[in-house]
Amino acid sequence: MDIRLLDNNDIDEAKALWKSSFDDSDEFIDTYFKNKISIGNSLGLFDDGLASVVHMLPCKIRVQANVIKSAYIAGAATAESKRNNGYMRQLLYESLSLMRQRGIFITHLYPFKHSFYERLGWATYSYVNNKVVKVGKQSSGSVVEVSERSKLVPMYRSMMAKCDGYAVRTVRQWENRLSELFSDGGKAVVLIEDNKPSAYMMYYGGGEVAEVVETVFESKEKARRLAEHLALEFKEVQYSVPAKDDSATPYGMARIVDVAGFLESFDTLSVLNKMQVVDSFATWNNKGNSRKRMDIAEFTQIVHRGVPPQKIEGNKRKSHYNALNEKFIQRSTCIFEQY
């Protein structure tokens, strides 16, 4: 058994593993590997061939009004015949270690199963409310299909300006996102009202159901109007909107890679004098000089979402929460990336 970075000779095996693990077309996989997979950012575990793989996609994420480096974990997969051997756990540990060496302090992902990553210290930081529209209705505005980013980018920036945890997309990342959408038969449509875009959706609709993978809007009502328009063509339109309530559907996850490095980048390293971070998986994160302990998952949630109000009441036992609250304030969170 060997764990190493993939090289060009491993790409065909990596594509085959992706194909056997995810419900994606060959066209999508080819486009995805061309756009996003780069040599030096994918770790593989080899056991009589490529048995397990983790791809790390360099990206920038907004955290507490700062744009910081992250590595988005994608395409984490193990060959069916090699599962239940702990291979993915080993790869994720090595991935975190490599990110730390590279000066990446936080990582993000969209999980196949939230509970799997929770056991390893990841935390859900973004939530959504799922919506379904079954009755179509003609929009008072117009709905146009688009093939390039110009009508989408301003709406995305406007909506995300009120949020935390979103991907700060470059021109190339926008082009890649649309290229991947179209390669698998997806479409992007924009609702135009009063001569300006007010909502857009990226969706797949090969059958009777339109599955929307990204919904951006001026208001939730305008998102619904666009969904109702799509429902003129489909029996059902499924979409989601960001939610503040933790009781909503869990979506994106994050994990602090390097506690000390992260806090130092926010000029808050001194908070470790008032608390102790506990990380049973990436043990280099066990930092702090206090009896007040905080699990790495809770710490990660606070980074994005701020300290829950009930934990910052003025008593001395909660001084570590008060210290964190000085920098990590309450934020609404949103991310659309899945892989």
pLDDT digits (tens, 9 = 90+) for 156-194: 999 999 999 999 999 999 999 999 999 999 999 999 999
- pLDDT, one tens digit per residue, over 60-108 is 999 999 999 999 999 999 999 999 999 999 999 999 999 999 999 999 9
Give dist(CA 102, CA 245) in Å, integer.
34
Predicted pLDDT of residue 314:
60
CATH architecture of 1-125+251-339: 3-Layer(aba) Sandwich (3.40)
- pLDDT, one tens digit per residue, over 124-150 is 999 999 999 999 999 888 999 999 999
**b/e sequence 195-222, b meaning 16+ C-beta within 10 Å:** eebbbbbbbebeeeebbbbbbbbbeeeb
Would you state the torsion angle of the CA atoms of residues 245, 247, 251, 253, taken in this order, to the nearest 10 degrees?
90
- β-pairing, 209-217 vs 236-243, is parallel
Common-topology check for domains 1-125+251-339 and 128-243: yes
pLDDT band at 313 (very low <50, low <70, confident <90, very high): low
- pLDDT, one tens digit per residue, over 1-60 is 899 999 999 999 999 999 999 988 999 999 999 999 999 999 999 999 999 999 999 999
Give dist(CA 41, CA 35) in Å, integer.
13
pLDDT band at 316 (very low <50, low <70, confident <90, very high): low
Superfamily of domain 128-243: Gcn5-related N-acetyltransferase (GNAT) (3.40.630.30)
Q: Do residues 213 and 338 lie in contact, with contact meaning Cβ atoms separated by under 8 Å? A: yes
pTM of the predicted model, to two decimals?
0.94
Q: Do residues 289 and 320 lie in contact, with contact meaning Cβ atoms separated by under 8 Å? A: no
Break the chain into its structural domains and give their ranges.
Answer: 1-125+251-339, 128-243
3-class SS letters over the chain: CEEEECCHHHHHHHHHHHHHHCCCCHHHHHHHHHHCCCCCCEEEEECCCEEEEEEEEEEEEEECCEEEEEEEEEEEEECHHHCCCCHHHHHHHHHHHHHHHCCCCEEEECCCCHHHHHCCCCEECCEEEEEEECCCCCCCCEEEEECCCCCCHHHHHHHHCCCECCECCCHHHHHHHHHHHHHCCCEEEEEEECCEEEEEEEEECCCCEEEEEEEEECCHHHHHHHHHHHCCCCCEEEEEEEECCCCCEECCEEEECCHHHHHHHCCCHHHHHCCEEECCCCHHHCEECCCCEEEHHHHHHHHHHCCCHHHCCCCHHHHHHHHHHCCCCCCCECCCCCC
Q: Do residues 215 and 152 lie in contact, with contact meaning Cβ atoms separated by under 8 Å? A: no
Encoded tokens for 130 = 């799922």
